[in-house]
Amino acid sequence: MIVTAEQRKDQADERLRLRCSAERFANVITEGTNCSRFEAEVIAEKAQEVFHLGEHSDEAVLQPGQMVWQAIDRDEPAGKPLRECRYVRVRLTLVRPVEDREVHREHGTTAMRRQQIVRMSEEALQQDALLTIEDLAVLLGTNEKTIRLDIASLRQGQDITVPTRGTKKDIGPGVTHREKVLELYLRGQEPLEISRALTHSLKAVERYIQSFCRIVYTQSRVGNTHTTALITGTSLHLVGRCLALRDRWLASPGYQARLEQMERIGTVFWESQDAKKTGMGPEPAGGRHHEG
């Protein structure tokens, strides 16, 4: 039997899926119950989300595809010699097998590498650190010239600022990849459209949107950024960027059109949390989408 190149790719995708904890969990559910495969996958994903497992983990344990790296503290001034800088221990996701494979198949090796650059750079920033061009070159097994070209292409082609030590001065006014995704979402584009426009994986786009909705909704309930960061398992920096984006778009037709969906996503997340352990009070007066 002749196996085509496309069939070999499908077989490789299937082998990668089998390495995923959610996929293994779904197999167990399917084999032990009368659930359909689709139902089992939904249950597995929601179980990981509720119990903070797999990619939803907020523990210090490294997940498959992650690694620990020493990155420069984001508060270190530009131009300071690296040997004199403070370093921060960060957790980076070098590989997300299913997402990276999806982008590789749809858009090629360069697009996959750029997705990895964006992902790790933004992860470092959320942990109050900045990667250097050299860091990214070492992590991705390529050269610094290639990384610079990738970052320049993202800036010129998609108007995205990749947060690295070299772009430190641009991080404030610049738009990160996450924010670009969210802006397109608030303009009315659907996740699949966004993933194609930005050559990013659909699952990653959906994760950005879910995180944004949870942060905005949680902030509307607690009115405190520190508490919001704690409940949503995100950094203060990310909470601040999401709330700033919310404020810029609050009065826009796009934001209002998305309001019902954002409420629904936020409510599902909120109800999955144990409110008694957080000591949170009732919803603040004056509406859900303004700080208390």
Which of 146, 172, 198 marks a domain boundary?
172
What is the structure's pLDDT at 135? 95
Considering the domain architecture, whether residues 163 and 218 belong to the same structural domain is answered as no
In a domain, 91, yes or no: yes
Which residue do the tokens 């902030």 mark?
219
Which domain, by its residues, includes 106? 66-172
Considering the domain architecture, whether residues 142 and 72 belong to the same structural domain is answered as yes
Sign of torsion over alpha carbons 254, 258, 260, 263: negative
What is the structure's pLDDT at 237? 83
Considering the domain architecture, whether residues 138 and 196 belong to the same structural domain is answered as no
Considering the domain architecture, whether residues 163 and 259 belong to the same structural domain is answered as no
Low-confidence ranges of the chain (pLDDT < 50): 275-278, 280-292
Considering the domain architecture, whether residues 168 and 205 belong to the same structural domain is answered as no
Tokens of 160: 């995205």
Q: 86-122 pLDDT, tens per residue?
A: 998 999 999 998 889 889 988 999 999 999 999 999 9
Considering the domain architecture, whether residues 86 and 151 belong to the same structural domain is answered as yes
In a domain, 35, yes or no: no
In a domain, 166, yes or no: yes
Which of 145, 172, 199 marks a domain boundary?
172
In a domain, 36, yes or no: no
Considering the domain architecture, whether residues 158 and 207 belong to the same structural domain is answered as no
Considering the domain architecture, whether residues 191 and 164 belong to the same structural domain is answered as no
- 182 with 209: CB under 8 angstroms? yes
What is the structure's pLDDT at 234? 84
Amino acid at 154: L
What is the structure's pLDDT at 292? 33
Considering the domain architecture, whether residues 152 and 234 belong to the same structural domain is answered as no
- 237 with 229: CB under 8 angstroms? no
CA pair distance 132, 5, nearest whole angstrom: 37
H/E/C letters for each residue in 38-70? HHHHHHHHHHHHHCCCHHHCCCCCCCCCEEEEE
Which residue do the tokens 């800088």 mark?
85
The CATH number covering residue 157 comes to: 1.10.472
Considering the domain architecture, whether residues 83 and 129 belong to the same structural domain is answered as yes
Report pTM: 0.64
Considering the domain architecture, whether residues 185 and 166 belong to the same structural domain is answered as no
In a domain, 248, yes or no: yes
Which of 155, 172, 189 marks a domain boundary?
172
Considering the domain architecture, whether residues 152 and 193 belong to the same structural domain is answered as no
- 236 with 229: CB under 8 angstroms? yes
What is the structure's pLDDT at 281? 45
What is the structure's pLDDT at 124? 92
Exposure string of 182-214, with b = 16+ CB inside 10 Å and e = fewer, is bbbbbeebebeebbeebbbbbebbbbbbbbbbb
Of the candidates 116, 97, 100, which has an alpha carbon nearest to the alpha carbon of residue 54? 97
What is the structure's pLDDT at 144? 94
In a domain, 79, yes or no: yes
What is the structure's pLDDT at 5? 65
Count how many domains the chain has: 2
In a domain, 198, yes or no: yes
In a domain, 12, yes or no: no
CA distances to 67, 106, 150, 199, 286 from 195, in Å: 26, 10, 18, 6, 35
Tokens of 55: 């990619």
CA pair distance 59, 214, nearest whole angstrom: 19
What is the structure's pLDDT at 211? 93
